[in-house]
């Protein structure tokens, strides 16, 4: 019996170390727990102990960077159409549907994090529609995004520029070779996504949990890549990500995951 109990204690200790590996960050500020991509969401997640965040960046008709996931305002805001066809001034009166918050600008989000230590922030470049973001527009977009992040990034923070679209990643790599970049895929972690990342000369990939294997994650890590897993809708999604060995896990329920870790892994 003593041997069995000792074995259980050792297993629990190893499990705790393994669970700590998957760094958790808040998708759109915590989109299942708060109103997505609002300053209120990022503040609430931060105040609950989160230090990792993800958001989406678009550019208005007059070249101002704002926070919005969808191609249009229709689902999340009391307005219709795209931010790309509106000016920043026109967006000043636009409110979110649930809490009536103002349209969040990138500058305001970065200003919130500017005095906070230890922040991890993914800035997803929503430039996938080439008709909306033609190649000649990408350089302006990338220069403004990088400049804004560099101006307000805390010294110990890690800001990562991410995209499903390889085009802005290539522009960022050319203009700012030191920038941290991540290629996102709608598929699993496999040899193909690793090869694409290596061809781009970047060190991070974001992959779907589904169909990803532990061997696939290990192979990517052995190739020198950091691997993030998504989506994260439930506690089970988080635990799956931990089991697969992801370096980081993107979740829509960051506060619930943080509270679960606090309860089950005290001191970590």
Average the pLDDT over 71-100 and give the result.
98
pLDDT in tens, 187-211: 999 999 999 999 999 999 999 999 9
Planar angle of CA 26, 144, 68, nearest 5 degrees: 40
Cis, peptide link before residue 231, omega less than 30° from 0: yes
Nearest-angstrom CA–CA distance, 172 and 138: 9
pLDDT higher than 80, residue 16: no
pLDDT higher than 60, residue 136: yes
Strands 52-59 and 65-67, by their bridges, are: antiparallel
Domains of the chain by start residue, with CATH: 22-70+104-127+135-264 (3.20.20.190)
pLDDT higher than 60, residue 67: yes
pLDDT higher than 50, residue 12: no
pLDDT higher than 90, residue 11: no
Percentage of the chain beyond pLDDT 90 is 90
Average the pLDDT over 78-87 and give the result.
98
Using N-to-C axis directions, what is the helix angle for 106-113 and 135-152, rounded to 10°? 30
Helix, strand and coil percent figures for the chain, each rounded to 5: 40, 20, 40
Percentage of the chain beyond pLDDT 70 is 91
45 in Cβ contact with 112 (< 8 Å): no
Band the pLDDT of 21: cuts 50, 70, 90: low
Q: Which two tokens stand for residue 40?
A: 């209120």
Q: For residue 182, which of 113, 254, 125 has the smallest C-alpha distance?
A: 125
Q: What is the pLDDT of residue 265?
A: 78
Q: What is the mean pLDDT of the chain?
A: 92
Band the pLDDT of 268: cuts 50, 70, 90: low
pLDDT higher than 60, residue 2: no
pLDDT higher than 60, residue 225: yes
Average the pLDDT over 116-130 and give the result.
97
């Amino acid at each position: 019996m003593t041997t069995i109990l000792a074995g259980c204690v050792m297993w629990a200790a190893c499990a705790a170390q393994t669970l700590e590996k998957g760094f958790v960050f808040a998708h759109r500020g915590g989109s299942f727990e708060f109103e997505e991509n609002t300053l209120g969401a990022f503040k609430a997640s931060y105040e609950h102990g989160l230090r990792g965040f993800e958001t989406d960046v678009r550019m208005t008709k007059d070249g101002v960077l704002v926070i919005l996931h969808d191609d249009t305002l229709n689902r999340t805001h009391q307005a219709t159409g795209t931010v790309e066809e509106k000016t920043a001034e026109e967006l000043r009166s636009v409110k979110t549907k649930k809490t009536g918050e103002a349209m969040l600008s990138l500058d305001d989000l970065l200003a919130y994090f500017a005095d906070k230590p230890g922040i991890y922030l993914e800035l997803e470049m929503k430039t996938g529609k080439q008709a909306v973001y033609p190649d000649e527009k990408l350089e302006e977009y990338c220069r403004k995004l990088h400049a804004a992040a560099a101006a307000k990034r805390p010294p110990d923070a890690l800001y990562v520029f991410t995209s499903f679209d390889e085009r802005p990643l290539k522009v960022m790599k050319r203009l700012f070779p030191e920038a941290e970049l991540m290629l996102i895929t709608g598929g699993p972690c496999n040899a193909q996504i690793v090869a694409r990342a290596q061809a781009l000369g970047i060190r991070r990939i974001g992959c779907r949990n589904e169909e990803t294997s532990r061997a696939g994650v290990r192979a990517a890590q052995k190739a020198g890549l950091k691997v993030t897993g998504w989506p994260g809708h439930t506690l089970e999604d988080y635990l799956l990500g931990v089991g697969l060995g992801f370096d980081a896990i993107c979740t829509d329920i960051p506060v619930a995951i943080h509270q679960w870790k606090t309860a089950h892994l005290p001191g970590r």
